[in-house]
């Protein structure tokens, strides 16, 4: 079976939206420092682009949780593969994710981070597939709401490929 990628959101559209979110975050965190927590690997491209557009002081850290393998359906299993390097206690934490799908990963992650005593905890996701939600998650900043399709690019992969695409595309099988 072969596959191809159809463009869903162009590089220009994604860049413009990230700029708008960056402006919003800069306003919302005025006078504070925002601590970005990137969920690897998917969130990394978005986080770098977002961080460059935030004008308040920024610090950042990374964590990695288990998600999909080759399968395109959620296993429901969430495991911490790499934890944060630094404490988030009393920090204004903004979790940066590539996509909220079933919501399982984020609901687990946010609960775990909340237990560590941040001053505030918010979530920013580039993409949201609301139709797919199984567990409720409060999203503070959303790039785009998209329909239920398997997407790649801008950090998102299919079997570890396509993360480097500078746009968001839908994988279609021929």
Residues lying near Mg ion in the complex (CB under 5 A) are found at 42, 98
Backbone angles phi, psi at 134, to 5 degrees: -110, -40
Q: Which does 128 bind (CB under 5 to 8 A by kind): ligand IMP, Mg ion, none?
A: none
Backbone angles phi, psi at 28, to 5 degrees: -65, -30
Residue nearest to Mg ion (CB): 42
- Which residues does 166 contact at the CB level (< 8 Å), separation at least 6? 11, 14, 153, 154
Position 128 contacts ligand IMP (CB under 6 A): no
DSSP state of 41: T
Position 150 contacts ligand IMP (CB under 6 A): yes
**CA angle, residues 14, 164, 7, in degrees to nearest 5:** 50
- Which residues does 91 contact at the CB level (< 8 Å), separation at least 6? 33, 35, 59, 118, 119
Minimum CB distance to Mg ion, residue 98 (Å): 5
Annotated catalytic residue, options 92, 101, 128, 157: 101
Q: Which does 74 bind (CB under 5 to 8 A by kind): ligand IMP, Mg ion, none?
A: ligand IMP
Position 24 contacts ligand IMP (CB under 6 A): no
Q: Which of 98, 113, 123, 154 binds ligand IMP (CB under 6 A)?
A: 98
Strands 3-9 and 80-82: unpaired
Binding-site ranges for ligand IMP (CB under 6 A): 42, 67-68, 74, 97-106, 150-152, 156
Active site residues: 101
């Amino acid at each position: 079976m072969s596959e191809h990628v159809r463009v869903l959101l162009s590089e220009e559209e994604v860049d413009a939206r990230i700029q708008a979110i960056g402006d919003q975050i800069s306003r919302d965190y005025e006078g504070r420092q925002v601590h970005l927590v990137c969920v690897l690997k998917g969130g990394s491209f978005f986080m770098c682009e977002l961080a460059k557009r935030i004008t308040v002081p920024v610090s950042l850290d990374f964590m990695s949780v288990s998600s999909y393998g080759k399968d395109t359906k959620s296993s429901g299993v969430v495991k911490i593969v790499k934890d944060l390097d630094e404490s988030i206690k009393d920090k204004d934490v903004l979790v940066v994710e590539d996509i909220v799908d079933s919501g399982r990963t984020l609901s687990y992650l946010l609960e775990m981070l909340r237990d560590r005593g941040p001053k505030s905890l918010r979530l920013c996701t580039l993409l949201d597939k609301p139709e797919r939600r199984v567990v409720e998650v409060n999203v503070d900043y959303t790039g785009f709401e998209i329909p239920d399709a398997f997407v790649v690019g801008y950090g998102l992969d299919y079997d570890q490929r396509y993360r480097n695409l500078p746009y968001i595309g839908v994988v279609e099988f021929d």
